[in-house]
Amino acid sequence: MALVQEGTVSHVWPLGTTVDERGVLQLGGCDALELAREFGTPAYIVVEDDLRTRARAFLDAFERHAADYEVHVASKSFPSSPVLRVLAEEGLACDVAGGGELAIALRAGFEPGRIHLHGNAKTERELREALHAGIGDIVIDNFDEIDALERLIPHGSHQRVLIRVAPGVSPDTHPKISTGGPNTKFGFSTHDAPEAIRRLQASDRFDLDGLHMHIGSQILDIAPFRPALEAMARLGEFRTWNLGGGLGVAYTSEQSAPSIEDYVKNKVSLVEELIGPGHRVADEPGRALVAHCCVTLYTVQSVKRNVATWVAVDGGMSDNLRPMLYGARYEAHVVGRPGGGTVCHLAGKHCESGDVLVHDADLADPRPGDVIATPVTGAYGHSMANNYNGGLRPPIVFVKDGDAREVVRRETYDDLLVRDA
């Protein structure tokens, strides 16, 4: 797939991406080759306007369709305070999956009352931190958590909570990121939920605000939200219905995904139809908010030929684990040569044969020193980055209107040693 087709770049690239007359990718008005030179590679380049536009797309769609709503960014998708700060400025609320993400969300500037805490194994420390910070909701996952909170919430005060329910519905996605089926580690089964509801309503420690479901991630067919909400609707009458995010995105130019508008409209109308009017509809998108804003830049280190052609870059499974974990498909381009022509495997630098970023990539005459760009790396890229082989996690660089600023620096060797006693 060539980078430029019919004079324009495909929908997988951040909004506003262009290719100049030399064929060089321009991200947020910045030249990708200059970005690679200035900040080094691998680097996560985040187009700030893309991030803001998608946040507004969610908020505008909810504003159009729902009278009462809340949109939480699932911070696990890009848990970096500069990124989350942009989303807080745009008016989103925040979902955190533990104490670490809570600390990041607070640093990013979210009001504590607009943060909620998830987790199927919240520790006592995390629950204490959440209570201490005064967060909006704790999303209760299991009976042991109810016991723990009954001990921790001081007499005379109470905490607003949601109950996470697994509705017993599995969408069409990778099994590792399907979460709402009958045999999941997340939430209460529909069988146990009534008992959880009864206990929370009977206790003066809790203010039960509603139910929560998250059936999975990278959902491209939104039909399963209906049977899932039907199962939830049988559990009673509540103010808030949190439908848990999950909207998938196109990772390659051949793929397409439902629009944010269609996805939001569908979820809001399902609540109105199956639960009734006058409810708060909440959602927690991660991927669809942050995936497209980011392009990872690499530099080719070697090219070799055996049965296939292998093009190896200076990153890999340490900055993008998704191909390795889920067989996720990406596309890649040589910056400055927007065509294709050489079918090859774009390999990472790590000591495992599985460390391949793109199988059968179509690159234009790749050579050592070339800068490679892979789009759609914002969601769960930085998030699952690691130090395998002593790799240094990449910087995050914001680009906007032709200016670039490093908001998270590259790790150093000292960072690898700093925790040693």
- Of 12, 11, 5, 8, give the one whose Cα is nearest residue 374: 12
Q: Could you say which residues in the range 151-180 bind ligand LLP, by CB under 6 A?
A: 177
Contact region for ligand LLP (CB under 6 A) — 42-50, 223-231, 244-252, 396-404?
244-252
Question: Tokens 């399963």 appear where?
Answer: 224
Q: Could you say which residues in the range 6-65 bind ligand LLP, by CB under 6 A?
A: none
Question: Tokens 């910056």 appear where?
Answer: 335
- Candidates 19, 51, 66, 74: give the one binding ligand LLP (CB under 6 A): 74
- Candidates 116, 322, 349, 350: give the one binding ligand LLP (CB under 6 A): 322
- Candidates 10, 170, 178, 217: give the one binding ligand LLP (CB under 6 A): 217
- Alpha carbon distance 353, 345 (integer Å): 11
Helix (H) or strand (E) holding 232: helix 225-233
Measured at CB, which residue is nearest to ligand LLP?
286
Minimum Å gap between C-beta 159 and ligand LLP is: 18
Which token pair is 315?
Answer: 């990153």
Q: How many residues bind ligand LLP (CB under 6 A)?
A: 21
Minimum Å gap between C-beta 221 and ligand LLP is: 14
- Candidates 380, 382, 396, 404: give the one binding ligand LLP (CB under 6 A): 380
Angle value at C-alpha 309, between 303 and 312, nearest 5 degrees: 40
Nearer to ligand LLP, 32 or 51 (CB): 51
Active site residue 294: no
Minimum Å gap between C-beta 403 and ligand LLP is: 29
Helix axes 193-202, 143-152, angle to 10 degrees: 10
Minimum Å gap between C-beta 216 and ligand LLP is: 7
- Of 25, 59, 3, 44, give the one whose Cα is nearest residue 289: 59
- Of 289, 280, 269, give the one whose Cα is nearest residue 65: 269
x-marked contacts with ligand LLP along 387-416 as a string, rule CB under 6 A: ------------------------------
Helix (H) or strand (E) holding 95: strand 93-96
Is 98 buried (19+), middle (13-18) or exposed (0-12) by CB count in 10 A?
Answer: buried
Q: Could you say which residues in the range 259-318 bind ligand LLP, by CB under 6 A?
A: 284-288
Which token pair is 381?
Answer: 């890229």
Minimum Å gap between C-beta 381 and ligand LLP is: 8
- Please state whether beta strands 342-347 and 309-313 pair in parallel, antiparallel, or not at all (unpaired): parallel
Residues lying near ligand LLP in the complex (CB under 6 A): 74, 76-77, 95, 118, 177, 214, 217-218, 244-247, 284-288, 322, 326, 380
Catalytic residues: 351
